C-alpha cells in the first residue's frame, strides 16, 4: 500500500542502530542475551545490566496505542496535502516497556484513540543509496 | 549557590517578531552582552567568562574578540536540548565565579532563526540523510517538539482527567501579564478564552495559542561575586539555589517507560527544594518556560505545586494572572506573549522580580524562581533571593 505521507516522504537514515528495524520486514526489538531486557531504540550496550551481548528478536507485530496526536499544521512542504494525520506511540507486544512511533492508517485519522489495538505492516520502498529495499514499519487497526 | 554569586546586570535587545530584526543574530548577541554590562556599570572588556546553550553560531571566541574582552577564563555550554538550559546556563556562571575560575561571567542567548534554519521546521531535513536518531520519527511525520510534547500531554491528560481549560489558563495568564509589559511582542493584543478556543489546531491538544512564539532577539545575564558587585551600580540579586539534571532512569530515549508521559522535572524539583530549604508554597513568583502549555501544567505537578488531579482547579479562575495572583506566574508574558529567546528572557524576568522592578511586580518577593523548558532532559531551575 502507498505510504500514508507519500511514497517519496522522508526516509529513515540507515545506520548501525536503525538498519535492522527499517529493513527486516518484521518488528525487530533489541534484547539482552544475558538479562533478557528489551530496549528500543537499540544501543551498544544493555541499559539494564551493561552487557554487550545483544540480539534482535522478531516480535509478533501487534501492539497498543499508548498516545496519539492529530497533526494539523504541516511542518514540511510535502505534508500540506496530508494533514490531518495521526502520530501514535505504540507499545510493542512481546517487548515489555518498548514504545515505537508510527501512524495508524486505514481509518479516519481523528478516530484513533488511546487503547486501540494495532497490527504492523511494512511499506516497501527502494533504497535511494542502492542495496536492499527499505521495509518501513507502520500500523493499522488490528 | 547560597548567595555566593549574584546577578549584577541583565541585558536585552528589542524583541521582534520572527524575521523582523534588521540586526544580525551576532549583532543582537553582542548588544545583549553590552547591555548587561551597561546595566551593571561594568566595562564590557572586563568580562572574562561566556556561556550560551544550543548555540553553535555565536561562539564565545567570536563574542570575546568582537567585544574586545581582555581575557577569556571560562567558556562552557550545558549539554543537550534547548530551552531546558535557560536556567542551567546561569547556574554554570554561578559555578565559575563561586569557584574563582572567572570574575565576571555572562550567560547569553541570541536568535534570529529566520537568518538560519528555523527551529521546529522539518523542511530542511534530508531524506535518508538526517541524523540516525531522528529516523524513529521522521518517516511518520514526527519531527517537531510540538508533536513530541503533544504525545506526552495527550496521554497525561487522559490518565489524570485534565481538561483543555487547564492548558487555556496558562495561555490566558501569559497574555494577560504581557498586557502590562511594553517590551512584550504581544503587548496590546489581549487574548480571550473564546479566541483561544477558536484558534486553529497546530497539533491536538495544542491550539495556536498553546505554542510559544518565534522571535528575534537576545538576552544576557551578568554574574559575579557579591564583593565585586559592591563596586557596580545595580542592586545585586543573590543566586540562592540552582539545579540541573534528570533521573532516575534518565529518559534519553523518548517515550520510553518511566518518562512517558513525563517532563523530566521530578528530580530538578527535589534538588532545588532541598538546596534552597524551601517548598513550592514558599515561592513568591514563578517563571515557568512555556514551549507549549501542556508541559507547563505537567511540570507544575512534577515540581510539587499540586497533583495532576488538582491542576485544573489550581490554575482556574485567574489564579496565575497579575501581580496579586495566588501564584504570580510568567509575569512578563513569557515565551508565549513576551518573546521566545529560548527562555533566557524569563530568567531575566525572575531577576527583575527579585529586584522589584517588573511591570507586573509581585509583593514582598523573597523567592523568585525560574524553571527552564520542560519536556527535554536535563531540566534546570534557578532561584533568586529578593532584595526588598
Ligand atoms: Zn542486560
pLDDT single digits (tens) A4-33: 999 989 999 999 999 999 999 999 999 999
* DSSP 8-state assignment for residue B155: H
The counts of H helices and E strands in chain A are 1, 9
Half-sphere exposure of B264 (CA within 13 A, CB side): 28
Considering only CA atoms, give the Rg of chain A: 16
Tell me how far apart the alpha carbons of residues B4 and A134 are, in angstroms, rounded to a whole number: 57
Cis ω for the linkage preceding A84 (within 30 of 0): yes
pLDDT of residue B258: 72
Measured from the Cβ of residue B80, the count of other Cβ atoms closer than 10 Å reads 14
Name the least confident of B72-76, B114-118, B194-198, B240-244.
B114-118
Query: CB-based contact (8 Å) between A87 and chain B?
Result: yes
CB contact under 8 A, B151 and A75: no
Shortest alpha-carbon distance between residue A20 and chain B (Å)? 12
pLDDT of residue B247: 81
Q: Is the pLDDT of residue B128 over 80?
A: no
Query: CB-based contact (8 Å) between A39 and chain B?
Result: yes
SS3 content of chain A, % helix, strand, coil (to 5): 10, 35, 55
CB contact under 8 A, B154 and A114: yes
pLDDT single digits (tens) A90-130: 999 999 999 999 999 999 999 999 999 999 999 999 988 88
pLDDT single digits (tens) B30-44: 999 999 999 999 999
pLDDT of residue B259: 81
Who wins on pLDDT, B249 or A80?
A80
In the CATH scheme, what is the homologous superfamily, with its name and number, of domain B6-116+213-385?
Answer: Thiolase/Chalcone synthase (3.40.47.10)
pLDDT of residue B119: 52
Shortest alpha-carbon distance between residue B234 and chain A (Å)? 44
Mean pLDDT of chain A: 96
Who wins on pLDDT, A111 or B255?
A111
Question: Hey, is B314 helix, strand or coil?
Answer: helix
Q: Is the pLDDT of residue A1 over 90?
A: no
B326-329: long-range contacts, CB 8 A cutoff, minimum separation 24: B327/B283, B327/B285, B327/B286, B328/B284, B328/B285, B328/B286, B328/B353, B328/B360, B328/B362, B329/B173, B329/B177, B329/B285, B329/B286, B329/B287, B329/B288
Who wins on pLDDT, B249 or B203?
B203
Cβ(B323)–Cβ(B276) below 8 Å? no
pLDDT of residue B80: 82
Q: Is the pLDDT of residue B331 over 60?
A: yes
Cβ(A113)–Cβ(A61) below 8 Å? no
* DSSP 8-state assignment for residue B251: -
Q: How many CB pairs under 8 A join A and B?
A: 139
For residue A56, what are the contacts with CB-CB under 8 A and spacing of at least 6?
A20, A24, A28, A29, A30, A31, A42
Shortest alpha-carbon distance between residue A109 and chain B (Å)? 12
Orientation of helix B293-303 relative to helix B145-160, angle to 10°: 50
pLDDT of residue B253: 72
Cβ(A42)–Cβ(A98) below 8 Å? no
CB contact under 8 A, B260 and A40: no
pLDDT of residue A56: 98
pLDDT of residue B206: 98
Q: Is the pLDDT of residue A2 over 60?
A: yes
ipTM of the complex: 0.98
Cis ω for the linkage preceding B311 (within 30 of 0): no
CB contact under 8 A, A67 and B141: no
The set of cell numbers assigned to B297 is: 501544567
Query: CB-based contact (8 Å) between A80 and chain B?
Result: no
Q: Is the pLDDT of residue B7 over 70?
A: yes
- Residue B62: pLDDT band by 50, 70, 90 thresholds? very high
Tell me how far apart the alpha carbons of residues B85 and B71 are, in angstroms, rounded to a whole number: 25
- Span from the CA of B133 to the centroid of ligand 1 (angstroms): 22
The yes-or-no answer on residue B340 being catalytic is yes
- Residue B255: pLDDT band by 50, 70, 90 thresholds? confident
Tell me how far apart the alpha carbons of residues B148 and A86 are, in angstroms, rounded to a whole number: 12
Apex B198 CA angle, B195 and B201, nearest 5 = 120
- Residue B250: pLDDT band by 50, 70, 90 thresholds? confident
CB contact under 8 A, A76 and B142: no
Q: Is the pLDDT of residue B284 over 60?
A: yes
> How many residues are recorded in chain B?
388
For residue B169, what are the contacts with CB-CB under 8 A and spacing of at least 6?
B315, B316, B319, B320
Shortest alpha-carbon distance between residue B66 and chain A (Å)? 36
Longest dimension (CA), chain B: 57
CB contact under 8 A, B155 and A71: no
B115 in the Ramachandran plot: left (φ > 0), alpha (ψ -120 to 50) or beta?
alpha
Tell me how far apart the alpha carbons of residues A20 and A13 are, in angstroms, rounded to a whole number: 11
CB contact under 8 A, A102 and B140: yes
Tell me how far apart the alpha carbons of residues B387 and B355 are, in angstroms, rounded to a whole number: 6
pLDDT single digits (tens) B141-175: 999 999 999 999 999 999 999 999 999 999 999 99
Cβ(A139)–Cβ(A118) below 8 Å? yes
Active-site choice (B265, B289, B367, B376): B289
- Region B350-359: mean pLDDT is 98
Tell me how far apart the alpha carbons of residues B367 and B284 are, in angstroms, rounded to a whole number: 5
Give which of A72, A63, A26, A32 is closest to A48, Cα–Cα.
A32
Phi first, then psi: give them for residue A18, nearest 5 degrees: -110, -20
Give which of B291, B383, B243 is closest to B81, Cα–Cα.
B291
* DSSP 8-state assignment for residue B143: -
pLDDT single digits (tens) A53-91: 999 999 999 999 999 999 999 999 999 999 999 999 999
Tell me how far apart the alpha carbons of residues B44 and A78 are, in angstroms, rounded to a whole number: 47
pLDDT of residue B115: 74
Q: Is the pLDDT of residue B203 over 60?
A: yes
Within 189-218 of B, beta carbons closer than 8 Å to A belong to 200-205
Q: Which residues of B touch A89 (CB under 8 A)?
A: 151, 155, 255, 260
Question: Hey, is B24 helix, strand or coil?
Answer: coil
Q: Is the pLDDT of residue B122 over 70?
A: no
Q: Is the pLDDT of residue B307 over 80?
A: yes
Query: CB-based contact (8 Å) between A71 and chain B?
Result: yes
pLDDT of residue B257: 73
Mean pLDDT of chain B: 94
Strands B367-371 and B285-288: parallel
Q: Which residues of A touch B141 (CB under 8 A)?
A: 5, 9-10, 71, 76, 79, 82, 85, 87, 103
Amino acid at each position: 500500500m502507498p505510504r500514508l505521507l507519500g511514497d517519496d516522504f522522508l526516509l529513515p537514515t540507515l545506520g548501525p542502530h536503525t538498519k535492522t528495524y527499517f529493513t527486516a520486514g518484521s518488528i525487530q526489538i533489541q534484547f539482552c542475551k544475558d538479562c533478557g531486557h528489551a530496549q528500543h531504540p537499540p544501543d551498544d550496550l544493555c541499559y539494564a545490566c551493561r552487557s554487550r551481548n545483544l540480539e534482535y528478536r522478531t516480535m509478533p507485530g501487534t501492539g497498543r496505542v499508548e498516545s496519539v496526536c492529530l497533526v494539523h499544521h504541516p511542518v514540511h512542504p510535502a505534508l500540506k496535502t496530508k494533514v490531518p494525520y495521526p502520530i501514535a506511540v505504540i507499545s510493542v507486544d512481546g517487548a515489555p516497556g518498548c514504545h515505537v512511533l508510527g501512524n495508524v492508517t486505514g481509518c479516519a485519522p481523528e478516530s484513533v484513540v488511546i487503547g486501540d489495538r494495532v497490527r504492523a505492516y511494512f511499506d516497501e520502498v527502494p533504497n535511494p543509496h542502492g542495496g536492499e529495499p527499505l521495509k518501513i514499519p507502520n500500523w493499522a487497526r488490528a | 549557590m547560597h548567595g555566593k554569586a549574584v546577578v549584577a546586570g541583565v541585558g536585552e535587545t528589542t524583541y521582534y517578531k520572527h524575521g523582523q530584526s534588521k540586526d544580525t543574530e551576532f549583532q543582537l548577541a553582542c548588544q545583549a552582552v553590552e547591555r548587561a554590562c551597561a546595566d551593571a556599570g561594568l566595562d564590557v572588556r572586563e568580562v572574562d567568562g561566556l556561556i550560551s546553550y544550543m548555540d553553535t553560531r555565536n561562539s564565545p571566541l567570536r563574542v570575546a574578540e568582537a567585544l574586545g574582552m581582555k581575557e577569556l577564563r571560562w567558556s562552557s555550554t550545558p549539554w543537550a536540548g534547548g530551552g531546558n538550559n535557560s536556567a542551567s546556563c546561569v547556574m554554570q556562571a554561578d559555578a565559575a565565579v563561586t569557584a574563582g575560575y572567572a570574575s565576571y561571567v555572562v550567560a547569553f542567548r541570541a536568535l534570529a532563526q529566520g537568518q538560519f534554519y528555523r527551529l521546529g521546521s522539518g523542511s530542511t531535513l534530508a531524506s535518508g540523510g538526517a541524523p540516525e536518531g531522528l529516523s524513529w520519527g521522521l518517516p511518520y511525520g514526527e519531527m517537531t517538539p510540538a508533536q513530541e510534547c503533544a504525545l506526552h500531554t495527550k496521554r497525561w491528560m487522559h490518565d489524570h482527567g485534565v481538561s483543555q481549560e487547564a492548558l487555556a489558563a496558562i495561555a490566558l495568564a501569559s497574555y494577560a501579564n504581557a498586557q502590562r509589559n511594553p517590551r512584550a511582542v504581544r503587548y496590546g493584543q489581549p487574548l480571550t478564552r473564546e479566541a483561544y478556543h477558536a484558534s486553529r489546531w497546530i497539533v491536538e491538544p495544542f491550539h495556536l495559542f498553546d505554542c510559544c512564539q518565534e522571535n528575534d532577539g537576545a538576552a544576557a545575564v551578568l554574574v559575579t561575586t557579591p564583593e565585586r558587585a559592591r563596586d557596580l551600580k545595580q542592586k545585586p540579586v543573590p543566586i540562592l539555589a540552582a539545579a540541573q539534571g534528570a533521573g532516575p532512569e534518565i529518559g534519553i530515549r523518548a517515550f520510553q517507560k518511566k518518562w512517558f508521559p513525563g517532563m523530566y522535572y521530578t528530580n530538578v524539583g527535589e534538588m532545588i527544594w532541598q538546596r534552597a530549604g524551601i517548598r513550592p508554597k514558599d515561592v513568591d513568583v514563578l517563571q515557568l518556560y512555556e514551549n507549549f502549555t501542556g508541559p507547563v501544567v505537567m511540570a507544575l505537578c512534577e515540581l510539587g505545586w499540586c497533583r495532576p488531579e488538582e491542576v485544573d482547579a489550581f490554575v482556574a479562575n485567574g489564579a496565575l494572572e497579575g501581580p496579586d495572583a495566588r501564584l504570580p506566574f510568567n509575569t512578563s508574558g513569557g515565551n508565549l506573549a513576551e518573546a521566545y529567546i529560548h527562555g533566557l528572557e524569563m530568567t531575566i524576568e525572575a531577576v527583575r522580580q527579585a529586584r522589584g522592578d517588573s511591570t507586573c511586580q509581585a509583593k514582598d518577593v523573597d523567592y523568585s524562581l525560574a524553571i527552564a523548558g520542560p519536556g527535554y532532559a536535563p531540566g534546570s531551575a534557578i532561584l533568586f533571593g529578593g532584595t526588598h
